Structure 1
């Protein structure tokens, strides 16, 4: 079942690269702050690279001005891929690039995408959520093939 507004985010471990692979527990990531987490089906994929991540790079200061403490990008990729993609996209260090390598967190959210027909395996649906102290206050899940509601502009307009 898909997570809903008003529900507490499940606990899982995500990874990122900083002096080697580091782990962060979602309970710690979301505790006592406002977090915008957006997920992409895959690093280096066309819409993700041309629109999704760049939108958050462009709107980072505006999101922070609206009270967002942390902006995080997540994909069912490994931490090395996420770091390489961040460098390729000139993403600032202020955007956390989180790897849900086995898709466990994505699955616990009920937001997994079966992309096996495209040779990509299980991935995350394209979505964005706003969480306050670990509770989902807003959730924007894209319809298949769409890119509108999880865009930085849309999230910003709804804060």
Structure 2
């Protein structure tokens, strides 16, 4: 069953690379009492994710935060080393959270996994964006195709804020 607007996010723990090394961050730590924009990508360093989806959120970070959002996070079914390298190479380190859903547990709990084995990627996350208010999904934008980043774009989230 896919998560829907009005649903509470499932409990999960992510790994995130920081200047001090990897840290664990729970859904409670990230979302409790806050308005957070969360978006997901099928994979760090993949073309649509790196050239289209992530840059929109980095470029529009201030515009999103100025609309009453406390934080922005990206999640992918990648390990924390890959997510950390992506944060550094994209210029996003310290600007948004780069969350590793290393085993896909969070993605599966949302019902948003996609099997991209035909493309050599295995089971990953569908591309989506959402506004989460105190752990509850307020908006949800799921792409029909992993190669598209229009419905789940930063521009779309700004329209919804």
Q: Same fold (TM over 0.5)?
A: yes
Unaligned 5+ segments in structure 2 are: none
- In the alignment, which residue of structure 2 is the partner of 1:131? 132
- In the alignment, which residue of structure 2 is the partner of 1:58? 59
Number of aligned residue pairs = 159
In the TM superposition, 1:10-159 aligns within 5 A as: 10-18=10-18, 19-144=20-145, 145-159=147-161
**Contact between 1:57 and 1:92, CA under 8 Å: does it hold in 2?**
no
Query: Over the residues paired in the alignment, what is the CA RMSD in angstroms?
Result: 0.8
**Contact between 1:43 and 1:81, CA under 8 Å: does it hold in 2?**
yes
Q: Deviations over 1:77-136 (max 9, x none)?
A: 011101101111111412000000000000000000101111111100000010000000
**Contact between 1:128 and 1:155, CA under 8 Å: does it hold in 2?**
yes
Unaligned 5+ segments in structure 1 are: none
**Contact between 1:129 and 1:138, CA under 8 Å: does it hold in 2?**
yes
Q: Which runs of 4+ in 1 moved over 3 A?
A: none
Distance in 1, matches of 2:38 and 2:149, equals 15
Relative to the length of structure 1, the TM-score reads 0.97
